[in-house]
Amino acid sequence: MKKLKIAIQKSGRLSDDSVKLFKACGIKFEVGKSKLMSESKNFPAEFLFLRDDDIPGYVADGVADVGIVGDNVLVEHECHVNRVKSLGFSKCRLSLAVARDVDYPGVSYFEGKSIATSYPNILGKFLKENGVDAQVHFISGSVEIAPGIGLAEGVCDIVSTGGTLLSNGLKEVEPIFNSEAILISNNSLSEEKLELLDRIVFRMNAVQTADTHKYVLLNAPNDKIEAIINIMPGMKSPTITPLAKEGWSSIHSVLKENDFWENIEAMRKMGAEGILVIPIEKMIF
């Protein structure tokens, strides 16, 4: 059987969560510092460990069939690949930053100025859309030092907390692109490989849905059941079992992570007691 070739980052901010996701999908493979490739023992897949910048190109060329990469790198490289799904990790943004003492008036500040970045395409597009004529200097790393050494007046770089900017005397002034990890695939996969990709996506969806839901068990007076199950409708419908105590039932259902506490508080007000909240490992509809 053909194996699906999966490219993930060898070492960096995408690596751990990429490996964790495939493992949560039940796909076993070895990861080692010196390893460049690893075959799964229980799924027809072969993992390639690469620099993140090379992943979109390798997937476009068919060296790898699928890959995980940051949206920032994907859009910057403009490769023709299929976006399969967003993965919700390695969230960050690409932002313009200037020296901390600059009184920033808006994007027009950059008119006629120079900006250092590793993302000339994304930045170029942003400047064009905003009608700003600036000089873009490409630097492949350590972009934050550019203003300090007099190379540029501003930078455009990845920010998550802003700590790196701050320690280099810079401040974030303009977020221009939001990024997260994306699963990508080659545009012309064989039927056989598409089927393998479908199996992986099905498993990833089950893992992701489980992460955003909790299993909830609670006891409630019978006359409050209807109001409570309005808040907690469950996958098809909740399970309701009578308790030994007359007039009381136990309700089992799933609850979404968003508004979780608000919903628990509302159910307590309605008379729910003995509330147990349990994590779900996989969720399949």
Output the six-digit token pair for 2: 């053909």
Per CB under 6 A, the segment of 65-73, 142-150, 207-215, 277-285 that binds ligand ATP is 65-73
Q: How far is the CB of 83 from ligand ATP (least distance, A)?
A: 14
Cα(179)–Cα(131) distance, rounded to whole angstroms?
23
Cα(248)–Cα(60) distance, rounded to whole angstroms?
60
76 contacts Mg ion (rule: CB under 5 A) = no
Q: Which of 18, 38, 40, 90 binds ligand ATP (CB under 6 A)?
A: 90
The alpha carbon of 209 is separated from its chain's Cα centroid by a whole number of angstroms, namely 13
Per CB under 6 A, the segment of 50-58, 166-174, 191-199, 239-247 that binds ligand ATP is 50-58
Sign of the CA dihedral with 281 first, then 22, 15, and 123 last = negative
In this complex, which beta carbon is closest to Mg ion, that of residue 52 or of residue 71? Answer: 52
Q: What is the CA radius of gyration of the chain?
A: 25
Count the neighbouring beta carbons within 10 Å of the beta carbon of residue 274.
Answer: 11
Q: Are 48 and 60 in contact (CB under 8 A)?
A: no
Q: Which does 158 bind (CB under 5 to 8 A by kind): ligand ATP, Mg ion, none?
A: ligand ATP
Q: Which of 4, 7, 8, 14 binds ligand ATP (CB under 6 A)?
A: 14
Tell me phi and psi for residue 227, to 5 degrees: -65, -40
Residue nearest to Mg ion (CB): 53
In this complex, which beta carbon is closest to ligand ATP, that of residue 12 or of residue 175? Answer: 12
51 contacts ligand ATP (rule: CB under 6 A) = yes
Q: Which of 46, 53, 180, 211 binds Mg ion (CB under 5 A)?
A: 53
Q: Which of residues 151-180 bind ligand ATP (CB under 6 A)?
A: 158, 160, 179
Q: Which of 38, 72, 95, 186 binds ligand ATP (CB under 6 A)?
A: 72
Q: Which of 173, 4, 184 is CA-nearest to residue 77?
A: 184
How far is the CA of 5 from the CAs of 37, 50, 75, 203, in angstroms? 10, 12, 22, 17
9 contacts ligand ATP (rule: CB under 6 A) = yes
How many alpha carbons fall within 13 Å on the CB side of residue 32?
A: 7
Binding site for ligand ATP (CB under 6 A): 9, 12-14, 51-53, 70, 72-73, 90-92, 158, 160, 179
